[in-house]
Amino acid sequence: MIDELSALRSIEERFHKISKDVELGIGDDAAAVRFDSGKLVLSTTDTQVEDVHFVKSFITPAQLARKAVAVSVSDIGAMGGVPRFILASVGFSKGEDEGYLDGLISGFLSSLEEFKVELIGGNLSSSNKLFLDITVLGEVEPDLMVRRAGAKPGDLLYVSGTLGDSALGLKILQDEEPKQGAELLTNRHINPLPRLALGRELALEQLATSMIDVSDGLLLDLERITVQQDIGAKLELEKVPRSKEYNDFVEQYYEDIYKPAISGGEDYELLFTADESRKGEIQAISEKLEIQITEIGSITELASLDVNSVSGEYKTINERGFVHFNN
């Protein structure tokens, strides 16, 4: 059980305002910050609830705090923006002690450094189960902001990194039998890497016509970038990038070896669309940032998701989350 007053004291001692843009940080009724005039302020919030989003035995408090920040700043990256400030609301249950709080604080501190953001406020409360609710404020030039809507038929579809690792990593964590050589997978679940530099670069070069971070699985997030405009997409199943470790382990957990790659969540890779003419520039960014970027399909006029497979099997996804097999 954590005492609010001593918790606040620890927090105020360990977080100091750094930049001149923080006029007033932790400790007043509200924080007061400056944004560049002419830029839009981006805001997003994301929650991690014990036994819903995480299980305490699989993740250290420091990892949990970092992950909560990582997945929230990821949303700012997916707009082509730059995260600047965070507010952290934490609900403590009776299960956390001072040591746990200390771990959370360490995780927050390291995430601030890693993602170049500042903690400017938050809230502590009691709760039945531990939860962390993170709000991120960021900024972006109005002309450069990349929305979910914006793709046009003919645009090519790209994704960064590899998909399905996090979902598979979670299966391995839940497996009572320890697995050798699966560290990349479990690590991608516990320490997800938001693609901030890539999102920003794609925005600065005005390359992406639409963009989203893959948080709930490729198919669902693909639908999110097409549904608003009543367009669709054709996905080349075998092109969906999978890691070596994914291929090593997937058969132990899934009958359909593509399932976690197309439906597994929490990879936080960027899914984006771009005009065909800009293929070369995307290749150049991939090389410059040393991030794998894979073309996995294209945008279609027809408002459905077609999963095209070399083996001759087709799946058409007619509505969110519903997969219809054509043969």
* Interface positions with a copy of itself (CB under 8 A): 5, 23-24, 27-35, 37-38, 40-47, 49-53, 75-76, 78-79, 81, 85, 87, 89, 91, 120-123, 125-129, 131, 133, 135-138, 140, 142, 145, 147-149, 212-213, 228, 320-321
Nearer to a copy of itself, 40 or 109 (CB): 40
Alpha helices, DSSP H, located in 130-243: 165-174, 183-190, 196-204, 218-226
- By DSSP bridging, strand 232-236 and strand 293-300 are antiparallel
Nearer to a copy of itself, 103 or 121 (CB): 121
Rounded to whole angstroms, the Cα distance separating 111 from 68 reads 9
Calculate the CA dihedral of residues 95, 97, 102, 103 and round it to 10 degrees.
Answer: -30
Nearer to a copy of itself, 90 or 237 (CB): 90
Alpha helices, DSSP H, located in 227-293: 244-253, 259-263, 279-289
Rounded to whole angstroms, the Cα distance separating 316 from 48 reads 32
Nearer to a copy of itself, 115 or 254 (CB): 115
Nearer to a copy of itself, 32 or 302 (CB): 32
CB 292 → a copy of itself: shortest distance, Å?
A: 21
CB 315 → a copy of itself: shortest distance, Å?
A: 20
CB 216 → a copy of itself: shortest distance, Å?
A: 10
**Is there a contact between 4 and 124 (Cβ–Cβ < 8 Å)?**
yes
Nearer to a copy of itself, 129 or 244 (CB): 129
Q: Which residues contact 207 (CB under 8 A, 6 or more apart)?
A: 272, 274, 278, 281, 282, 285
CB 275 → a copy of itself: shortest distance, Å?
A: 21
Rounded to whole angstroms, the Cα distance separating 185 from 118 reads 29
> Which amino acid is it at 311?
S
Nearer to a copy of itself, 149 or 184 (CB): 149
SS3 243: coil
Q: Which residues contact 37 (CB under 8 A, 6 or more apart)?
A: none
CB 265 → a copy of itself: shortest distance, Å?
A: 13
CB 197 → a copy of itself: shortest distance, Å?
A: 16
CB 182 → a copy of itself: shortest distance, Å?
A: 28
